[in-house]
Amino acid sequence: MSSLPSGAIIAPSVLAADFANLQRDCEMLNVSQADWFHIDIMDGVFVPNISFGMPVLEAIQRHAKKPLDVHLMIVQPERYLETFKKLGAEIITVHYEACPHLHRTIQQIKDLGCKAGVALNPHTPVNVLEDIIHDIDMVLVMSVNPGFGGQRFIEHTYEKVRKVRQMSDTVMIEIDGGVTSKNAKQLVDAGAKALVAGSFVFSSENPIQTIADLKNI
Ligand code: DX5
Ligand code: ZN
């Protein structure tokens, strides 16, 4: 991706925000060193949880002043790509496990003018990306099983990041789940560029400082 910041990209997950104070939390992210807003869309089918949908994303879009990084944990994501583009998505990530026609889905995302990402569940080996990795902008390596914030980081993730990096020097690698200041540096050293952090940011006493700490690892 062009015009990237030199350090890690920090993408706080709005899933961990206070939904009763969403405007306040969006404004906090605007003034923080966060690079992207990470938006978790869950359908209760692909993952055993439902997060939020279009009306909430529309509200987020009204206040967010940074790129929206939309992570679709839904079946048949191709049905909604255009809607998410209209709602301000700059990056759209779909799950490998949810896309039997992944190549077509990626082309659809790109045709909309968005960056295209593919997410891998913890049990999915990275080599399934061999024939698509040069067509995509980002690989999202799930470091927890998708569906919930606040879960424990899976240590095997480092190994997966290194393998993705071996497959491509240029693809952006994003890590999602259980990211803290304890594992952030090791993830970046392994080849990750973007770090999603939900509960670590929003449960901290000073989220702005926590984001700055992650940014400056
Ligand atoms: C999990 C979501 C994550 C989640 C991360 O399914 O994709 O983005 O919000 O939350 P933490 O950082 O609390 O693990
Ligand atoms: Zn996510």
Query: Is 66 inside any structural domain?
Result: yes
pLDDT tens string 98-117: 999 999 999 999 999 999 99
135 is in an annotated binding site: no
Query: Is 2 inside any structural domain?
Result: no
Starting at the edge strand that comes first in sequence, how are the strands of the sheet with 89-95 ordered? 9-12, 194-197, 172-176, 138-142, 115-120, 89-95, 68-73, 37-42
Please state the atom number of ligand 1 nearest to the C-alpha of residue 142: 7
Q: Is residue 1's pLDDT more than 80?
A: no
Query: Is 77 inside any structural domain?
Result: yes
Q: Is residue 164's pLDDT more than 60?
A: yes
Q: 95 in ligand 1 pocket by Cβ < 6 Å?
A: no
Query: Is 4 inside any structural domain?
Result: no
Q: How far is the CA of 182 from the centre of ligand 2 (A)?
A: 19
Average pLDDT on 188-198 reads 98
Q: How far is the CA of 26 from the centre of ligand 1 (A)?
A: 17
Q: Which ligand sits closest to the CA of 177?
A: 1
Percent of the chain with pLDDT over 70: 98
38 is in an annotated binding site: yes
Q: Is residue 141's pLDDT more than 70?
A: yes
Q: Which domain holds residue 100?
A: 9-215
Mean pLDDT of the chain: 97
Closest among 103, 98, 104, 72 to 85, alpha carbons compared: 72
Q: Which CATH number characterizes residue 181's domain?
A: 3.20.20.70
Q: 197 in ligand 1 pocket by Cβ < 6 Å?
A: yes
Whether 43 sits among the annotated catalytic residues: the reply is: no
3-state secondary structure 8-64: CEEEEEHHHCCHHHHHHHHHHHHHCCCCCEEEEEEECCCCCCECCCHHHHHHHHHHC
Strands 172-176, 138-142: pairing is parallel
Whether 176 sits among the annotated catalytic residues: the reply is: yes
Query: Is 189 inside any structural domain?
Result: yes
pLDDT tens string 56-112: 999 999 999 999 999 999 999 999 999 999 999 999 999 999 999 999 999 999 999
Q: Is residue 2's pLDDT more than 80?
A: no
Residue 39's DSSP bridge partners are 70
Q: 176 in ligand 1 pocket by Cβ < 6 Å?
A: yes
Q: What is the pLDDT of residue 6?
A: 72
137 is in an annotated binding site: no
Among residues 40, 43, 69, 213, the one annotated as catalytic is 40
Q: 11 in ligand 1 pocket by Cβ < 6 Å?
A: no
Query: Is 137 inside any structural domain?
Result: yes
Q: 13 in ligand 1 pocket by Cβ < 6 Å?
A: yes
Please state the atom number of ligand 1 nearest to the C-alpha of residue 146: 6
Q: What's the number of domains the chain is made of? A: 1
Query: Is 3 inside any structural domain?
Result: no
18 is in an annotated binding site: no
Average pLDDT on 36-48 reads 98
Give the count of beta carbons closer than 10 Å to the beta carbon of residue 127. 11
Q: How far is the CA of 176 from the centre of ligand 1 (A)?
A: 6
Q: What is the pLDDT of residue 3?
A: 61
Distance (Å, rounded) from C-alpha 182 to C-alpha 209? Answer: 15
Distance (Å, rounded) from C-alpha 157 to C-alpha 141? Answer: 7
Query: Is 93 inside any structural domain?
Result: yes
